[in-house]
Structure 1
Amino acid sequence: MKRLFLVVVLLITIALSAQELKSPSEFLGYELGTRFTRHHRVVDYYQYLSEAAKDRMQLKEYGKTNEQRPLLLAYVSSVTNMQNLEAIREEHLKSTTGTGKSTKAIVWLSYNVHGNESVSTEASMQTIYELLTSKQAYLENTVVIMDPCINPDGRDRYVNWYSQFKNTPNQLNPDSKEHNEGWWSGRSNHYMFDLNRDWAWLTQLESQQRLRYYNNWLPHIHVDFHEQSMDSPYYFAPASEPFHEVITDFQRDFQVTMGKNHAKYFDANGWFYYTKERFDLFYPSYGDTYPTYNGAIGMTYEQGGGGRAGLGVITSNGDTLTLKDRIAHHHTTGISTVEVAASNVTKLNKEYQKFYQPKNYKYKSYILKGPEDHMRALTQLLDQHQLSYSYGTGVNVKGFNYKTGKAGSLRTNSESLIISTNQTRGTLVKVLFEPNARLSDSLTYDITAWSLPYAYGLDAIASESLISETSKKENSSKKEVFNTNTYAFLTDWNGMDDARFLAELLQQKIRVRQAQKPFTLEGKRYESGSLIITKADNDGRKNFTKILGEAAEKHHKSLTAVSSGFVDDGKDFGSRYVLMIPAVKVAVLAGEPTSTLRFGEIWHFFEQQLHYPVTVLDENYINGVDLSNYEVLILPGGTGYERFMDTPMLSRLKEWVSQGGRLIAMGKAIASLDGADGFDISAREEEKDSTVNLVQPYENLQREEIKNDITGAIFKTKVDATHPLAFGYKDTYFSLKLASDSYDYLESGTVAYISKDTLPVAGFAGSEAQKKMAKSLVFGVEKHGKGQVVYMVDNPLFRGFWENGKLFFVNALFMAY
Structure 2
Amino acid sequence: MTKFLFSLVLLASISVSAQQLKSPSEFLGYELGTQFTRHHEVVDYYEYLAESAPDRVQLTVYGKTNERRPLILAYVSSSENLANLETIRKEHLKDTKGTGDSSKAIVWLSYNVHGNESVSTEASMKTIYELLTKKSSYLENTVVITDPCINPDGRDRYTNWYNQYKNTPFQVDPNSKEHHEGWWSGRSNHYMFDLNRDWAWLTQIESQQRLKIYNQWLPHVHVDFHEQGVNNPYYFAPAAEPYHEVITDFQRDFQVTLGRNHAKYFDANGWFYFTKEVFDLLYPSYGDTYPIYNGSIGMTYEQGGSGRAGLGVITAIGDTLTLKDRIAHHFTTGLSTVEVSSKNAGKLNEEFRKFHQNKDFKYKSYVLKGNKDKLNALKSLLDKHNIEYGDLSSGSYKGHSYETGNSGSLSINKNGMVVSIDQPKGTLVKVLFEPSTKLTDSLTYDITAWSLPYAYGLEAVASTSSISAQNVQETSTLPSISRGSYAYLTDWNSMDDARFLAALLNKGIRVRKADHPFSIEGKSFDRGTLIITKGDNENKEDFIQTLQTIVTTFNKEITPTSTGFVDSGKDFGSSSIQMITKPKVAVLSGGPTSTLRFGEIWHFFEQQLHYPLTVLDDDYTTRVDLDEYNILVLPDGRYGNHFKEGQLSKLKNWVQQGGKIIAMGGAIDALDGEKGFRIVKKKQAKDSSENTPQPYKNWERERIKGAITGAIFKTKVDNSNPLAYGYGSDYFSLKLGSSAYDYLENGNAVYLEQNTKPFSGFAGTEAQKRISESLVFGVENHGRGQVIYMVDNPLFRGFWENGKLFFANALFMVD
Give the CA deviation at 1:465.
Answer: 0.5
State how far apart, in whole Å, the 1-side matches of 2:573 and 2:280 are: 59
Query: Hey, what does 1:706 align to over in structure 2?
Result: 704
Give the CA deviation at 1:764.
Answer: 0.3
SS in 2 for 1:642: coil
State how far apart, in whole Å, the 1-side matches of 2:713 and 2:198 are: 22
| Aligned ranges 1:65-80 → 2 under 5 Å | 65-80=65-80
Do the aligned residues in 2 keep the contact of 1:414 with 1:473 (CA within 8 Å)? no
Query: Hey, what does 2:273 align to over in structure 1?
Result: 273
State how far apart, in whole Å, the 2-side matches of 1:592 and 1:121 are: 30
Query: Hey, what does 1:35 align to over in structure 2?
Result: 35
SS in 1 for 2:254: helix
Structure 2 gap ranges (5+): none
State how far apart, in whole Å, the 2-side matches of 1:348 and 1:327 are: 28
State the one-letter code of the partner of 1:157: R
Do the aligned residues in 2 keep the contact of 1:713 with 1:737 (CA within 8 Å)? yes
Do the aligned residues in 2 keep the contact of 1:218 with 1:291 (CA within 8 Å)? yes
Moved more, 249-258 or 363-372: 363-372
Give the CA deviation at 1:34.
Answer: 0.3
Deviation readout 1:742-787 (Å, 9 max, x if unpaired):
0000001111000013210000000000001110000000011111
Do the aligned residues in 1 keep the contact of 2:755 with 2:769 (CA within 8 Å)? no
Do the aligned residues in 1 keep the contact of 2:478 with 2:555 (CA within 8 Å)? no
> Is 1:474–2:466 an aligned residue pair?
no
Query: Hey, what does 1:634 align to over in structure 2?
Result: 633
> Is 1:578–2:541 an aligned residue pair?
no
State how far apart, in whole Å, the 1-side matches of 2:84 and 2:643 are: 63
Query: Hey, what does 2:695 align to over in structure 1?
Result: 697
Give the CA deviation at 1:272.
Answer: 0.4
Query: Hey, what does 1:234 align to over in structure 2?
Result: 234
> Is 1:15–2:9 an aligned residue pair?
no
Do the aligned residues in 2 keep the contact of 1:513 with 1:579 (CA within 8 Å)? yes
Query: Hey, what does 1:84 align to over in structure 2?
Result: 84
Give the CA deviation at 1:541.
Answer: 1.0
Do the aligned residues in 2 keep the contact of 1:14 with 1:134 (CA within 8 Å)? no
Do the aligned residues in 1 keep the contact of 2:393 with 2:472 (CA within 8 Å)? no
| Aligned ranges 1:236-255 → 2 under 5 Å | 236-255=236-255
Give the CA deviation at 1:501.
Answer: 0.3
Do the aligned residues in 2 keep the contact of 1:15 with 1:134 (CA within 8 Å)? no
Query: Hey, what does 2:113 align to over in structure 1?
Result: 113
Deviation readout 1:425-454 (Å, 9 max, x if unpaired):
100000000100101100000000000000
State how far apart, in whole Å, the 1-side matches of 2:7 and 2:614 are: 65
State the one-letter code of the partner of 2:79: V
Give the CA deviation at 1:9.
Answer: 5.0
State the one-letter code of the partner of 1:502: L
Deviation readout 1:35-72 (Å, 9 max, x if unpaired):
00000000000000000000001000000000000000
Query: Hey, what does 1:796 align to over in structure 2?
Result: 794
Do the aligned residues in 1 keep the contact of 2:235 with 2:301 (CA within 8 Å)? yes
State how far apart, in whole Å, the 1-side matches of 2:5 and 2:289 are: 44
Task: Give TM-score scaled by structure 1 length.
Answer: 0.99
Deviation readout 1:704-724 (Å, 9 max, x if unpaired):
100000000000000100000
State how far apart, in whole Å, the 2-side matches of 1:8 and 1:228 are: 46
| Aligned ranges 1:159-308 → 2 under 5 Å | 159-308=159-308
Query: Hey, what does 1:679 align to over in structure 2?
Result: 677
> Is 1:546–2:539 an aligned residue pair?
no
State the one-letter code of the partner of 1:606: F
Query: Hey, what does 1:762 align to over in structure 2?
Result: 760
Do the aligned residues in 2 keep the contact of 1:391 with 1:413 (CA within 8 Å)? no
Give the CA deviation at 1:694.
Answer: 2.5
SS in 1 for 2:22: coil
Query: Hey, what does 2:47 align to over in structure 1?
Result: 47
State how far apart, in whole Å, the 2-side matches of 1:486 and 1:298 are: 59
Task: Give TM-score scaled by structure 2 length.
Answer: 0.99
State the one-letter code of the partner of 2:498: A
State the one-letter code of the partner of 1:245: E
SS in 1 for 2:301: strand
State how far apart, in whole Å, the 1-side matches of 2:9 and 2:490 are: 74
State how far apart, in whole Å, the 1-side matches of 2:358 and 2:226 are: 34
Moved more, 460-469 or 241-250: 460-469
Give the CA deviation at 1:4.
Answer: 6.7
State how far apart, in whole Å, the 1-side matches of 2:183 and 2:556 are: 41
Give the CA deviation at 1:155.
Answer: 0.2
State the one-letter code of the partner of 1:618: D
Deviation readout 1:643-689 (Å, 9 max, x if unpaired):
42121111111111111100000011111111111110111001221
Query: Hey, what does 2:424 align to over in structure 1?
Result: 424
SS in 1 for 2:802: helix
Give the CA deviation at 1:415.
Answer: 2.1
State how far apart, in whole Å, the 2-side matches of 1:5 and 1:680 are: 88
Query: Hey, what does 2:62 align to over in structure 1?
Result: 62
Give the CA deviation at 1:549.
Answer: 1.6
| Aligned ranges 1:90-109 → 2 under 5 Å | 90-109=90-109
Query: Hey, what does 2:313 align to over in structure 1?
Result: 313
SS in 2 for 1:143: strand
Do the aligned residues in 1 keep the contact of 2:220 with 2:296 (CA within 8 Å)? yes
State how far apart, in whole Å, the 2-side matches of 1:473 and 1:811 are: 33
State the one-letter code of the partner of 2:271: W
State the one-letter code of the partner of 1:512: V
Query: Hey, what does 2:769 align to over in structure 1?
Result: 771
Do the aligned residues in 1 keep the contact of 2:708 with 2:764 (CA within 8 Å)? yes
| Aligned counterpart for 2:726 among listed residues 722, 725, 728 | 728
SS in 2 for 1:338: helix
Moved more, 684-693 or 711-720: 684-693
State how far apart, in whole Å, the 2-side matches of 1:255 and 1:519 are: 61
Deviation readout 1:474-497 (Å, 9 max, x if unpaired):
323211223333111000000100
State how far apart, in whole Å, the 1-side matches of 2:555 and 2:327 are: 50
Give the CA deviation at 1:358.
Answer: 2.1
Query: Hey, what does 2:623 align to over in structure 1?
Result: 624
Query: Hey, what does 2:402 align to over in structure 1?
Result: 402
State how far apart, in whole Å, the 2-side matches of 1:146 and 1:483 are: 56
Do the aligned residues in 2 keep the contact of 1:66 with 1:190 (CA within 8 Å)? yes
State the one-letter code of the partner of 2:184: W
Give the CA deviation at 1:274.
Answer: 0.4
Deviation readout 1:539-578 (Å, 9 max, x if unpaired):
1112212211221222231001111111111111011100
Aligned residues, how many?
Answer: 815
State how far apart, in whole Å, the 1-side matches of 2:460 and 2:387 are: 18
Do the aligned residues in 2 keep the contact of 1:667 with 1:793 (CA within 8 Å)? yes
State how far apart, in whole Å, the 1-side matches of 2:428 and 2:544 are: 45
Query: Hey, what does 1:786 align to over in structure 2?
Result: 784
Deviation readout 1:183-213 (Å, 9 max, x if unpaired):
0000000000000000000000000000000
Residues 513 and 260 of structure 1, relative CA distance in 2, 3 Å threshold: same
Give the CA deviation at 1:15.
Answer: 2.3
Query: Hey, what does 1:743 align to over in structure 2?
Result: 741
SS in 1 for 2:805: helix
State how far apart, in whole Å, the 2-side matches of 1:358 and 1:576 are: 62
Give aligned-pair identity as a percent: 67
Do the aligned residues in 2 keep the contact of 1:687 with 1:771 (CA within 8 Å)? no
State the one-letter code of the partner of 1:665: A
Give the CA deviation at 1:692.
Answer: 4.6
Deviation readout 1:610-648 (Å, 9 max, x if unpaired):
000000000000010000110000000001x12421211
Do the aligned residues in 1 keep the contact of 2:479 with 2:555 (CA within 8 Å)? no
State how far apart, in whole Å, the 1-side matches of 2:772 and 2:731 are: 16
SS in 2 for 1:771: helix
Do the aligned residues in 1 keep the contact of 2:106 with 2:220 (CA within 8 Å)? yes
SS in 1 for 2:216: coil
Give the CA deviation at 1:6.
Answer: 6.6
Structure 1 gap ranges (5+): none
| Aligned ranges 1:513-552 → 2 under 5 Å | 513-552=512-551
